[in-house]
Amino acid sequence: MRQFTLLMILLAASLAGYPAGQTDNIVKANKAYSAGSYTTAADLYNKVVSAGYEAPELYYNLGNTYFKMNDYAHAILWYERARRLAPGNEDIDFNLNVANTKISDKIEPLPVLFYKRWFNALLQLFSVDTWAGIGVLLFLAGLLGGALYLTSRILVLRKAGFWSASGFILLSLFALLMAWSSNSFTKSASEAIIFAPTITVKSSPDEKSTDLFVVHEGTKVRLLDNINGWFEIRIANGSVGWLPLTSLEKI
């Protein structure tokens, strides 16, 4: 696991955005974690989450706390939530991979077409807000290039203004497209973590239906549909079936 103290520093830098009461809870949680009182730390971090606050550092700290408690399902849940807010963060990805080695299921994922794999890797370089910010900055740079083209009387500068404006605006459109795609993916990617120690996936939303396969606590699944307290799920290898709502928690 990557060291917790680095994220404590990052989290401390963001405390200004929290009310005094929640800041106190985070400070107390950090101290409890450092003292090895992981249950207390988890309770305090969860109070901040329950108050409606979210941040990748907060979720990451919760993941680390549950990992120390050997509660790998909750650790994976919070790492996954942190990764949604901060895609491409190496510390989050590293600790999530470590936590996934601790669970029973080792499911081989279906191969992904190379262009989809490249696009997804590019998409996860930055968060939605970062992609949007990059797009806006590039668009402003394009406007400056356009202004240079329109106002300059020197041919070389007019050419430079025209080509820079064209390039920056095209890049800004690409960045804004990435922001839109990242936002759409986050909203449409309905996933969950299994919280039953061992559970059998059914062929239909009925306890009496055919048993298909078994999954274990900590496994991530994609949610496809829900009927009467049951979710249709798909695991990484493409297998599909039904599980009761009470057996999992959404990311």
The domain that holds 52 is classified in CATH as 1.25.40.10
Do residues 206 and 180 touch, judged by C-beta distance below 8 A? Answer: no
**Is 166 found in the same domain as 132?**
yes
DSSP readout, 49-79?
Answer: HHTT---HHHHHHHHHHHHHTT-HHHHHHHH
Of the three residues 78, 100, 122, the one that is the final residue of a domain is 100
SS3 242: strand
Residue 21 has a pLDDT of: 72
**Is 136 found in the same domain as 51?**
no
DSSP readout, 8-54?
Answer: HHHHHHTGGGS-HHHHHHHHHHHHHHHTT-HHHHHHHHHHHHHTT--
Of the three residues 171, 188, 205, the one that is the final residue of a domain is 188
| Total domains, the chain | 3
Measured distance CA(22)–CA(12) in Å, rounded? 12
Mean pLDDT of the chain: 90
Range of the domain at 200: 191-250
Burial class (CB in 10 A: 0-12, 13-18, 19+), 154: exposed
Distance of alpha carbon 223 from its chain centroid, rounded?
16
Do residues 212 and 202 touch, judged by C-beta distance below 8 A? Answer: yes
Within-domain flag for 106: no
Of the three residues 76, 100, 124, the one that is the final residue of a domain is 100
Summarize the confidence of residues 85-98 as an average pLDDT: 92
**Is 151 found in the same domain as 121?**
yes
Within-domain flag for 35: yes
Q: What's the CATH number where 202 sits?
A: 2.30.30.40
Measured distance CA(17)–CA(53) in Å, rounded? 9
**Is 147 found in the same domain as 202?**
no
**Which pTM does this prediction carry?**
0.76
**Is 169 found in the same domain as 142?**
yes
Within-domain flag for 208: yes
**Is 205 found in the same domain as 184?**
no
Question: Which of 10-24, 75-89, 152-166, 190-204 shows the lowest per-residue confidence on average (mean pLDDT)?
Answer: 10-24
**Is 242 found in the same domain as 182?**
no
Largest interatomic CA distance in the chain? 81
**Is 86 found in the same domain as 10?**
yes
Measured distance CA(220)–CA(216) in Å, rounded? 10
**Is 80 found in the same domain as 18?**
yes
Within-domain flag for 150: yes
**Is 199 found in the same domain as 172?**
no
State pLDDT tens for residues 104-141: 999 988 887 888 888 888 887 888 889 999 999 999 99
Residue 108 has a pLDDT of: 86
User: What percentage of residues in the chain have a pLDDT greater than 70?
Assistant: 90
Which residue matches tokens 């968060």?
127
Within-domain flag for 107: no
**Is 211 found in the same domain as 133?**
no
**Is 129 found in the same domain as 214?**
no
